[in-house]
Amino acid sequence: MVAEGEGRRDGATGRLSGRAPDNRLVHFSSVGAEGVRPGDVVTVEITRGAPHYLEADGAVRAVRRTRSGDAWEARRAAPAAPASGSGRAGVALGMPSVGVPAPLPEAPVCG
């Protein structure tokens, strides 16, 4: 499955990155990967294995478009709605009240 920004040097090396079914990191060539989106599943031939990642130098053999890739594309196409008055999107958590705290309820008498 193709990931978004998984590899540190993907831009410099012209590669894309993703995860194998066993969750190992896979760096693969962007040759033949036109239109591949994060979330899509690609088939590549592994040419080198390192202790922490795998590499595939050949072209992408197959691309399976997924709903996850569709969601990524929709998120990129639609701008986020800004929060009221702030100019940026966010979650309103509410403001705590300031002042003297409310008195505690009466505790039942024990004994």
Q: Report how far residue 28's alpha carbon sits from residue 48's, in angstroms, rounded to the nearest whole number.
A: 10
Q: Report how far residue 4's alpha carbon sits from residue 12's, in angstroms, rounded to the nearest whole number.
A: 15
11-52 residue pLDDT tens: 777 788 999 999 999 999 887 788 889 999 999 999 999 998
Alpha-carbon dihedral 13, 17, 54, 65, rounded to 10 degrees: -130
When pLDDT is cut at 50, 70 and 90, the band that residue 92 belongs to is low
Instruction: Give me the pLDDT at residue 29, please.
Output: 85
Instruction: Give me the pLDDT at residue 67, please.
Output: 94
Ordered alpha helix ranges (H), the chain: 10-13, 67-77
pTM of structure: 0.64
Domain boundaries, the chain: 10-76
Burial class (CB in 10 A: 0-12, 13-18, 19+), 2: buried
